[in-house]
Structure 1
Amino acid sequence: MASLPVVPRIKLGSQGLEVSAQGLGCMGMSAFYGPPKPEADMIELIHYAVGKGVTFLDTSDVYGPHTNEILVGKAIKGIRDKVQLATKFALGVDDEHKFCIRGDPGYVRAACEASLRRLDVDYIDLYYQHRLDPKVPIEVTVGAMKKLVEEGKVKYIGLSEASASEIRRAHSVHPITAVQLEWSLWSRDVEEDVVPTCRELGIGIVPYSPLGRGFFSGKAVVEEIADGDSRKTMPRFRPENLECNKVFYDQLCALGETKKATPGQLALAWVHHQGQDVSPIPGTTKIKNLEENIGAIGIKLSQEELKELEDAVPIDAIAGDRHVNMPITWRHMSTPPLSSWKEA
């Protein structure tokens, strides 16, 4: 492989956080995409990423649950000052293996303190509310997060899967540094309202699944999804939808031949070209895939080439919803008005 491009750093949001322009999503190392990967291999991968300039690491207490934070904590031992550590709270799994959400102040504090212990760190750089709690006004949840900032347990706060109106409400309580959202060539609903709101308020943007959960890297098209991988249940990967969607991968392959790039690199380069306030967090468990993702940073696309990519993946032609749990995404979730809140 040719030498990798230098990973630039960007200011994420307007409160002072600086991160690598491409991060590393660590979820798949421990959960959801098949069985957990060997710990030693994943620590080696994280060290390799940081050595190459990918220093913005993303995890959550629900990944495992809990085991991914422990893994990341072990990986950053001795290099804490070199990384920007992001984790999340609010989303859990109950005894029936269904997602449950909490954003009440007592839970916010307990979740943060538990994450600090698992990560074995004194502070978290960026602490996200993973999903909105429909029972708790967002002002109440962010108020509890603000106290964590004041106590030094958290440096900056963020939201994940929040609508424009919820972002505004949260930002009125304490500056929101970043919003994590699904944004890729085949998931673009955030462009109408959420992304412009972030930019108006000076909030950084962290796209998750920028490769379409691996679709644009060939997962399920040229590489089979293994049993136990949650993508088997994702609407766009179901056989009837995948048959329709495969054409978009093929079209990116054809465009990649002219740019000497893989379809995954083109898809990731497209995300990088969406702005200087954007730091996507593609996940991987293999060093060769990490190198491929870093290579996307060096791809320069003209306006005409960006349009070619968008035309190759027309959003109104994608078969299937972007998420298996659409009811807990920003399009469906909202929190009650602050005036209604009575703490138990």
Structure 2
Amino acid sequence: MTLRSITLGTGQHRLQTSALGYGAMSLAGAYGAITEADSISLLEHVAQREVTFLDTANIYGDGASERILGTFLRHRRSEFVLASKVGIEKGAGVGKRRARGDAGYIKEQIDQSLRRLGTDHLDLYYLHRVDPDTPIEESVGALGELVTAGKVRTIGLSEATGEEIARGHAVHPITAVQSEWSIFARDVETHVLPTCARLGIGFVPYSPVGRGLLTDSFESEALPADDIRQNFPWFMPQNLPHNAALVTRVRDIAARLELPTAGLALAWLYQRAAALGVEISPIPGTRTAAHWDQLQRGVDVELPDAALTELNGLAAEVSGDRSFDPRWVSGGREGLLPRR
């Protein structure tokens, strides 16, 4: 599988990387257990598929994801574009953590992340969530100081609103914005993506296959009790049967086009991004090599107009919001969530 390159951002703050990245939250057990040996094996497989963009965060498994990536990257750090995040304090679990973006915290956490990752710099460092108690200007200013210090090459924001992105970009150039975006979750198209297009900021969609919903392998009755998805409205008992029926429609479209459903979901993203004028590198996460190959099949597929029309109408039919707390994501703070 030959994987093309893309450029996030513009000017001296641009970052060249693969058109598809790996989201390493899965290595911390969020969607089920995986051993460190299996994690390393999976990362080797992803690297063999010419993926050079690896994304993690200090909060994933309380540093476990970063440590595993650090092991994998030993003696080969220069082969990869490495991104991590700061801005969520450890709490009692999903929905019980808080955003923290003050300058002191950011400068403290970078050194811990670099130590776990076994490197002296990150290629991209995101503010994981916007702190409601800290002006975005302070958070971005601190990230910018890390660039000056040589600890970070470029900076990004995650789940920031269009207005927050513009304010942050005025302090220091933002290279990439990361937010959830998929066939089922499209609120970023209203304000966030137009802002990125206008300012020349790249976009990194996380959960591009709807946390596993938009795949051929998802089985609603097999969701483990400790799976992180149990906390998200799409997967709750009052919403999941309806959403699973929508997934069946997506699978039918994929079957007609002889694509894996996950590959179809990625192909839709690339075409939608091109229509909106943004450069993207999605970061799906998986625990199996076979699932990765299904995803990657969608990178350079052009979907027919009829399929795009069918897929474009599905988000309005999804039951439940994409987040357990609308304030936790950009669409909620922009008044786009909740729908129902």
Q: So what's the TM-score if we normalise by structure 1?
A: 0.91
1:284 aligned to 280, 283, 286, which one? 286
2:289 maps to amino acid: I
**Counterparts in 2 of 1:237 and 1:146: CA distance versus 1, 3 Å:** same
| Shift of residue 291, structure 1, vs aligned partner | 0.9
- The Cα of 1:249 is off from its aligned counterpart by 1.1
Instruction: Indicate the SS of the match to 1:61.
Output: coil
Deviation beyond 6 Å, 4+ runs, structure 1: none
Residues 123 and 153 in structure 1, CA contact (< 8 A), matched pair in contact too? yes
Cα deviation for residue 239 of structure 1 reads 1.9
State the match for 1:23 in structure 2. Answer: 21
Aligned match of 1:308: 310
Across the two proteins, how many residue pairs are aligned to each other?
327
Q: CA deviation at 1:319?
A: 0.4
Q: How does 1:124-273 map to 2 (within 5 A)?
A: 124-218=122-216, 220-221=218-219, 224-273=222-271
- Cα separation, partners in 2 of 1:279 and 1:95, compared to 1, 3 Å: closer
Distance 2:333 2:5 in 1: 32
The Cα of 1:219 is off from its aligned counterpart by 5.5
- Distance between the aligned counterparts of 2:234 and 2:97, measured in 1? 21
The answer to whether the aligner puts 1:331 opposite 2:331 as a matched pair is: yes
Q: Match of 2:155, SS?
A: strand
Question: Which secondary structure state, in structure 2, belongs to the residue aligned with residue 172 of structure 1?
Answer: helix
More helix by share: 2
Alignment of 1:78-117 (within 5 A): 78-94=75-91, 98-117=96-115
- 2:254 alignment partner, SS class: helix
Letter in 2 for 1:53: E
Residue 140 of structure 2 aligns to a residue whose secondary structure is helix
Q: 2:24–2:65: 8 Å Cα contact kept in structure 1? A: yes
The 1-side partners of 2:249 and 2:77 are apart by 41
Partner of 2:7: 11
For 1:40, give the aligned amino acid. A
Judged with a 3 Å threshold, the aligned counterparts in structure 2 of structure 1 residues 101 and 136 are, in CA distance, closer, same or farther, namely: same
RMSD between aligned alpha carbons? 1.7
Q: Higher relative CO (CA 8 A, sep ≥ 6), structure 1 or 2?
A: 1
SS at match of 2:43: helix
8 A contact 2:86–2:126 mirrored in 1? yes
Give the superposition deviation at 1:25.
Answer: 0.6
Write out per-residue CA displacement over residues 165-184 of structure 1, whole angstroms, 9 at most, x where no aligned residue.
10010000000000001100
TM-score (norm 2): 0.92
Deviation at 1:252, TM superposition (A): 1.4
User: Residues 63 and 96 from structure 1, CA distance in 2 versus in 1: closer, same or farther, beyond 3 angstroms?
Assistant: closer
Q: Tell me if the contact between 1:185 and 1:267 (Cα under 8 Å) persists in the aligned partners.
A: yes
Between 1:185-194 and 1:319-328, the stretch displaced more is 319-328
Inter-partner Cα distance in structure 2 for 1:287 and 1:259 = 22
In the alignment, residue 59 of structure 1 is paired with which amino acid?
A: T
Aligned amino acid, residue 65 of structure 2: N
Q: State the partner residue of 1:337.
A: none
Q: Structure 1 pair 117/305, CA: closer, same or farther in 2 (3 Å)?
A: same
Identity score, percent: 39
| 1:240-259 Cα deviation digits (max 9, x unpaired) | 21111122111112112221
Deviations 1:74-116 (A, max 9, x none): 1111221111101000102236872022111111101111101
Contact 1:235 1:320 in 2 (8 A): yes
Structure 1 residue 21 displacement after superposition: 0.3
Measured after TM superposition, the shift of residue 156 of structure 1 is 0.3
Q: Please list every run of 5 or more consecutive structure 2 residues that lacks an aligned counterpart in the other structure.
A: 335-340
Kept in 1: contact 2:176–2:204 (CA 8 A): yes
8 Å CA contact 1:134–1:333 kept in 2: the answer is: no
